[in-house]
Amino acid sequence: MKKIDSAVAVEPAATVPKGRKNNPEKTREDILKAAVAEFVAHGLTGARVDAIAERTKTSKRMIYYYFGSKEQLYVEVLEKLYGAIRNTES
């Protein structure tokens, strides 16, 4: 803690670690990619949100922030894969 004057103390500002960028679209896409691998390997019931968080170097809280639930993440993975199949067909 740094003292500005004897009556007021100020906490140092929190900083984002170097190398980490605030890019919500990339974070969401990284989570989806890791989720595809996890769901393909283990299915809905065997997949672990912890494993997805570890692969993306994020937290479970962040995954739930973006997707709401494991089931909703699974639905979005299915939509992503189905969309890729549809694009290949056209």
* Residue in this structure with the two tokens 């912890």, named with its chain if needed: 50
Query: Would you state the pLDDT for residue 16?
Result: 39
Number of domains in the chain: 1
Q: What is the mean pLDDT of residues 21-45?
A: 95
Residue 2 domain-assigned?
A: no
Q: What is the mean pLDDT of residues 35-43?
A: 97
Determine contact, residues 10/2, Cβ cutoff 8 Å: yes
Distance CA 82, CA 78 (A): 6
Residue 6 domain-assigned?
A: no
Is the pLDDT higher at 22 or at 4? Answer: 22
Q: Is the pLDDT of residue 82 over 50?
A: yes
Q: What is the CATH number of the domain that holds 64?
A: 1.10.10.60
Residue 85 domain-assigned?
A: yes
Determine contact, residues 22/16, Cβ cutoff 8 Å: yes
Query: Would you state the pLDDT for residue 89?
Result: 86
Residue 62's domain comprises 24-89
Largest Cα span, the chain: 71
Q: What is the mean pLDDT of residues 33-53?
A: 98
Residue 46 domain-assigned?
A: yes
Q: Is the pLDDT of residue 12 over 50?
A: no
